[in-house]
Chains A and B, each alone.
Chain A
Amino acid sequence: MTRHASTVTPDLHVPQTVQEAVELLADGAFEVLAGGTWVMRGGIRGEGYADGYVLISKLPDLTRLGWSDQSLVIGAAVTHAQLATFLTGHTRLTGLATAAAKSANPAIRRAATVGGNLSTVDFPAADLVPALLALDAQVSILDVDGERVLDLVDYLASRTTLSPRTLLTHVTVTVPPGFTAQERLTMRSAGDYPVGIVSTNVRIGADGLVEDATIAVGSVEPVARLWPSLASALIGHPLDSAFAMRMAHDLKGEFNARDGIEAAGWYRLQVLPELVARTFRTLEREADLR
């Protein structure tokens, strides 16, 4: 795809239906424009623009947000702010709620969409990605050949080859039986991009031991990913932040941490066990409350 310097002005197409949007995307010349918070920086960053954009943020099919059986369906054009508001009080989705409520800043959260957050390929620190990974979320994508449902893990792996002809339409999350928590570590306490994110989802059995766990890590590697070895190491043990921290410490060598302007790889690795422990401290509190 060709990229143009900021002096060439791209077109904006405003389809009325999802089908129309997919057809506009079909020949690969145009890109999706959702909240625009990532796309619009292209001009001043010298990254340039595509020939044209297809605006999807107002399509009713993509802005829905609600329950379907035991699942939460999140339209791709739902904003972070809408998601955070919707999730207030849903104790089993604390991790996702935290991700939606703490990322970026309020003005960005009111514009940035869930679909956009999952589709910004060059952004390792996306908050929603580990939160949704830890929930085993599925994403539905659509192109002129029809709809497909993928595990988020697979979507992340294929993003670069799928786009720009594919439209992410919604994300489906099954409400977990246990509890979730998310921790992000920023360099400035007030907030900025997280240098490490840990999202934890655990189910505790009647004996008080961890029955099942899913742990996802963001911002440490170029793309967020699951941490299955840590999850297995915790199963069968009590919910204990100190133990989780020790296990994380032993297993963190599995990550190939990235160097960035904000922090070097060693630092991201070094703080990873503490982030794991912090999610467990939150879960301990939630378990106590129960």
Chain B
Amino acid sequence: MSDSIGKNHPRRDAEDKLRGRTMFTVDTDTGLMLHAALRRSEVPSGRIVSMNLEPARQMPGVRAVVSAPDAPGMYGVMVADHPLFAVDEIRYYGEPLAAVAAETIEQAQAAAEAIEVIIEERPPLLTMAEALAHGAPELHPDWRDYELLAGEGARKGNVSWESTVVRGDVDGAFARDDVTIVETLFRSGRQNQTPLEPRAVIAHVERDRVVITTSTQFPWSVKSGVARMLGIQPADVRVLVPAVGGGFGMKWEMSLEPFAALLARDSGQPVKLVNSRQEEMQTALCRENAEIRIRSAVTASGEIVGREGFVLLDCGAYSGEQPFLASMVTHTLFGSYKLGSARLVSQAIYTNTPPNGAFRACCGTYCVAALERHTDEICAQLDFDRYEFRRQNVLGDGDLGPTGDVFEGDVLGPMLEEMVALRERSTRHQPANDRLLYGTSTTVGTWFILVGPSAATVNLNPDGTATLVTAGVEIGSGSTMQAIPQIVADVLQIPISDVTVREADTDAGGYDGGVGGGRTTVSLGAAGSRAAAEVKRKMLEVAADMLEAAPGDLKLEDGNVVVDGIPSLSVTIKEVAAHAQSNGGPISGSGSFTGTGNVGMVGCAAGHYIGALDLPVFAVHECDVAVDRDTGHVTVLDYRVVQDVGRAINPRAILGQVQGGVIQGLGYALHEEVTFDHLGKSHQQGFETYRVPLAGDAVPVQLEVYEGAPSMGPLGVKGAGEVPILNVAAAVSCAVADAIGRTVSEIPLTPPRVLGLILERDGADVELPHVATVWRDAVVADAQQLLAVAPR
């Protein structure tokens, strides 16, 4: 019998990685290839008066130079507002102006330097406050003309997208005389993904098609994006993806690929383009910075009768993921708890800073932090127990979600109870001395699986093994190389080592919505499982012929097809495969999957790509901290997680994801900081100042997986890789606030920031005067209209 499910399988790619044999895109060398460099802007805002590429063309070794006229279109995620090269307008420091390919990287860099650019500089809008100030210039004066690629949201000036929610009578709730109104502010910084492998690509032209080898999470989006920017058919682009050296969301959107493709087309040679660490620090598609005001009307018995939220997300110079994420604020900031009524406005704002993007649990991290700080403040002001209040108010079976969608199953409540049990059986560290302030927290969070289209093919080979073909990428989490073959092996009842995995190739694997959003195990897993089921059905038919039995009487067991109840009557899968070769032909199966497209209550949500969650995922995190009152250092003493995984098909792999995600979250909560100088240049140009956690900053995470929550995933799984980072900033912020007895409204909680709070220094408290207080005034859509269509 196949024992693939619920077991700790080793990773098939580990040994090569340990021997230094794995070839990542950065390691790939095709021989005779050219090296490319980008000329990037060194001002944050301005008009290109002139650009002369000739000097670069004259430099030694140069084979191709391209710029805006070579790639006229625009791209984006929801709004096509992003040109490949700055066209007339420069909108951020680091924006590409031209690209050069030469025989050596030094020659390419020298030629890129030699390009003559004259720029008329403008004062930049570096913060959302500046971009929203009265009379601020528009970063995109042509915003009205931009093509919408997905969904529809209100837009105006520097508001690149607006998502709103209206459910129930919020004004009425806040006007009740039996409620207390609690308001919380929260501000969070950017987080750079800093995968150790930077973005990198090699492009060449083969039989009139562009072939791209790249470090991406989403090959099919690279395929369509490159085609769009080159003005060719998607069919004329092939994307191959070797092992990816970390992504964490940064490699979700297309980035360097079109540059290399243009240069390869122009030069007729393979072209390699790799971002330097400094370029990655400046232009990573970071988790966006955000500013939040949230307020609630709560009764003395602890019922949340109304909640209102105002959220600004910084999209940087181009909108990218942020319009989508503006709507995901709904499901995170307004998720987890039962709300009598709800009203939210969430806006993605253009600024003259590098564009932001997706990062593991995206906006969820800071929304959960803001929400949980708010929850603790409600408890403090109304004198509720922090745990009991949550236990009473978390969403359960049949409760309404933020947009009026009905939640299925009691999940968060039992998970909170699991957490109590976990806490009670864990050993907890005590702070070492009285110079340390001790604090603790319990937080809940809601995230989702980005279900969506995936295709898979499974071939049964003549030797009885199977080959799994998808466009799924292995980014390090193990989902593609480990989880999906595990699911296929289970269906076919063969050892997991008998399932070969084809590396992602858009010429081989069918469409797939990308590795990210926790979707791989669910969507690709479901597609793979269905493909394997088709193979199984065909195998049973062939075996039925061989055994002279009805297919319905057969079952797969331990590499054999067996007549149910008569173990002596069986054939091996290998024999079935061989028999099929000459009887009907080789066996293969295909499978596909997509989400259901839940939308919530009609009229509740506007500007939402996802109106309601198809597949929510929940997490409960606790942490104990010690804060040094003399230096402001926060030490995490213990960290506990209860995570909803649907079903744990490989518990050890899940713990690996949770440990990694929590530590990444500790970096976000405590010391990873992105700040800009007056030119919008990041102060943090490398690991010298961008402080990711090191081994000595990590703590062992104690995990309890929660199984049994409803899931549409194969075998009931949910993705486990994205969620671990969701609650970390929340858990740390709440614990630090508990320790120091002050309001904590900002992350990262660096030692200076924490010490500033302890000392009550001027400016230590967050003030957000530009974040609106009146919903009707804040929305750029027609507020009356939104209220009129909303369900009461």
Residues of A within 8 A of B (CB): 5-7, 44-45, 185, 187-193, 261-264, 266-267, 270-271, 274
B631: chain A residues at CB < 8 Å are 185, 271, 274
* 5 interchain pairs, CB-CB under 8 A: A6-B106, A190-B697, A191-B696, A192-B688, A267-B752
B691 near A188 (CB under 8 angstroms)?
yes
B697 near A261 (CB under 8 angstroms)?
no
Q: Which of A45, A189, A266, A270 touches B633 (beta carbons < 8 Å)?
A: A189
A193: chain B residues at CB < 8 Å are 688
> Complex formed: what's the CA distance from A262 to B693 in Å?
15
In the complex, the 9 A-B pairs of residues with the closest C-beta atoms, listed nearest first: A190-B696, A190-B694, A274-B630, A267-B752, A190-B697, A261-B683, A261-B689, A188-B691, A7-B110
Q: Look across to chain A and name the residue whose beta carbon is closest to the beta carbon of B685.
A: A45
A185: chain B residues at CB < 8 Å are 631
> Complex formed: what's the CA distance from A190 to B751 in Å?
14
Q: Look across to chain A and name the residue whose beta carbon is closest to the beta carbon of B635.
A: A189
Total interface residues on B, CB under 8 Å, equals 30
Q: Which of A45, A191, A263, A267 touches B694 (beta carbons < 8 Å)?
A: A191
Determine whether B684 belongs to the interface, using a CB cutoff of 8 Å to chain A: yes
Q: Look across to chain A and name the residue whose beta carbon is closest to the beta carbon of B695.
A: A190
> Complex formed: what's the CA distance from A263 to B631 in Å?
12
Q: Look across to chain A and name the residue whose beta carbon is closest to the beta carbon of B630.
A: A274
B696 near A189 (CB under 8 angstroms)?
yes
Using A5-B113, A266-B761 as known contacts, list a sample of 10 further A-B pairs with CB atoms less than 8 Å apart, ordered by residue number in A: A5-B110, A7-B106, A7-B110, A44-B276, A190-B696, A191-B696, A261-B683, A267-B752, A267-B755, A271-B630
A188: chain B residues at CB < 8 Å are 671, 691, 693-694, 697
Q: A7-B110, A191-B696 are in contact. Are A44 and B277 (CB under 8 A)?
A: yes
A262: chain B residues at CB < 8 Å are 689
Query: Once A and B bind, how many residue pairs between them come within 8 Å at the CB atom?
Result: 54
Task: Give 1 or 0 for each of B680-706: 1 = CB within 8 Å of chain A CB.
Answer: 000111001101011111000000000
How far apart are B711's CB and chain A's nearest CB, in angstroms? Answer: 38
Q: A44-B277, A189-B697 are in contact. Are A261 and B106 (CB under 8 A)?
A: no
A187 near B671 (CB under 8 angstroms)?
yes
How far apart are B427's CB and chain A's nearest CB, in angstroms? Answer: 21
> Complex formed: what's the CA distance from A190 to B675 in Å?
22
How far apart are B718's CB and chain A's nearest CB, in angstroms? Answer: 33
Q: Look across to chain B and name the residue whose beta carbon is closest to the beta carbon of A278.
A: B630
Determine whether B109 belongs to the interface, using a CB cutoff of 8 Å to chain A: yes
- The winner among A189, A190, A192, A266 for most chain B CB atoms within 10 A is A189
Q: Which of A45, A190, A263 touches B693 (beta carbons < 8 Å)?
A: A190
A45: chain B residues at CB < 8 Å are 685
Q: Which of B752, B759, B761 touches A263 (beta carbons < 8 Å)?
A: B752
Q: Which of A7, A263, A274 touches B109 (beta carbons < 8 Å)?
A: A7
A5: chain B residues at CB < 8 Å are 110, 113
Task: Give 1 or 0 for each of B730-755: 1 = CB within 8 Å of chain A CB.
Answer: 00000000000000000000111001
B750: chain A residues at CB < 8 Å are 187
Determine whether B278 belongs to the interface, using a CB cutoff of 8 Å to chain A: yes
> Complex formed: what's the CA distance from A262 to B761 in Å?
18
B752 near A264 (CB under 8 angstroms)?
yes
Q: Which of A192, A261, A274 touches B684 (beta carbons < 8 Å)?
A: A261
How far apart are A45's CB and chain B's nearest CB, in angstroms? Answer: 8
How far apart are B85's CB and chain A's nearest CB, in angstroms? Answer: 22
Q: Look across to chain A and name the residue whose beta carbon is closest to the beta carbon of B672.
A: A188
> Complex formed: what's the CA distance from A196 to B577 in Å?
70
How far apart are B739's CB and chain A's nearest CB, in angstroms? Answer: 16
B106: chain A residues at CB < 8 Å are 6-7
A270 near B697 (CB under 8 angstroms)?
no
B694 near A44 (CB under 8 angstroms)?
no
> Complex formed: what's the CA distance from A274 to B630 in Å?
7
Q: Which of A44, A190, A264 touches B278 (beta carbons < 8 Å)?
A: A44
> Complex formed: what's the CA distance from A45 to B751 in Å?
27
How far apart are A103's CB and chain B's nearest CB, in angstroms? Answer: 14
A187 near B109 (CB under 8 angstroms)?
no
B683: chain A residues at CB < 8 Å are 261
B759: chain A residues at CB < 8 Å are 270
A267 near B751 (CB under 8 angstroms)?
yes
- The winner among B276, B631, B755 for most chain A CB atoms within 10 A is B631
> Complex formed: what's the CA distance from A192 to B686 in Å?
13
How far apart are A185's CB and chain B's nearest CB, in angstroms? Answer: 6
B693: chain A residues at CB < 8 Å are 188, 190
- The winner among A5, A188, A261, A262 for most chain B CB atoms within 10 A is A188
Q: Look across to chain A and name the residue whose beta carbon is closest to the beta carbon of B629.
A: A274
